Amino acid sequence: MFRAGAHPGMSVVWKRAAWFFSDRRGIAAVEFALIVPVLLIMYFITMEASQAIEASKKVSRISSMVADLVTQQTSVVNADLTDIMKIGNSSLQPYNRSVANISITAIDIRTDPNNPIPQAKVAWSWSVLDGKTGRDSKPTTSTTVPATLNVAGTFLIRVKTTLAYQPIISWSEGSEKPLGFISAFNEGKITMSETYYLRPRRATSIPCSDC
């Protein structure tokens, strides 16, 4: 006999529901499946951050090293500068997802009889841009230097290195578009840049005959 309004199947449903929610078998596997993606994301972010920091340090090192090698010369030609920039780019290894652009500019600072303020002008320049070498700025072009270095009668070598750092989590060799969530920012690249100024070590100026 069943009471009026009672449904015989409801008790079975409630019992099965209670059994389902009280069953703890496989809970470790479920927790593992939920936690693993988070741990993997944290691992890749940590790995990528460390690689990016190391690449940024190398970009700074390139500018310093190239400027140091150039300022040790008494004169140069564009072939010398090209070789020096190749040495600089090789220091990025084992990172090889993009190539650094390096610009070397010789700056002559003089005063004009009609203007007592020192004027910084390009003496010569040479650069490598996307693997192609050539003149970066025309001679006698006005340029700027930090105020503390703008001293009349001095000669400066400026080296600027720029790297479009390609995160490994957004990079795929041979693909036209970057992969991953970083692709939404600057086509998946992070711009790193460093500029160094040094004075000649062995002469008052460093001429370049064919720059």
- What mean pLDDT is predicted for residues 166-192? 60
- What mean pLDDT is predicted for residues 78-94? 93
pLDDT at 159: 97
pLDDT at 166: 86
Pick the more confident residue, 49 or 182: 49
pLDDT at 182: 47
Instruction: Classify residue 96 by its DSSP letter.
Output: -
> Which residues are within 8 A (CB) of 139 and not within 5 positions of it... i.e. 6 or more apart?
121, 122, 123, 124
pLDDT at 106: 97
pLDDT per residue as tens digits for the range 68-79 = 999 999 999 999
Q: How far apart are CA 126 and CA 110, in angstroms?
A: 21
Q: How confident is the model at residue 157 (pLDDT cuts 50, 70, 90)?
A: very high
> Which residues are within 8 A (CB) of 177 and not within 5 positions of it... i.e. 6 or more apart?
183
On the question of pLDDT at 67 being above 90, the answer is yes
Report helix angle 78-90 to 27-71, nearest 10: 160
φ, ψ dihedrals at 75, nearest 5°: -160, 160
pTM: 0.73
On the question of pLDDT at 19 being above 80, the answer is no
Pick the more confident residue, 38 or 19: 38
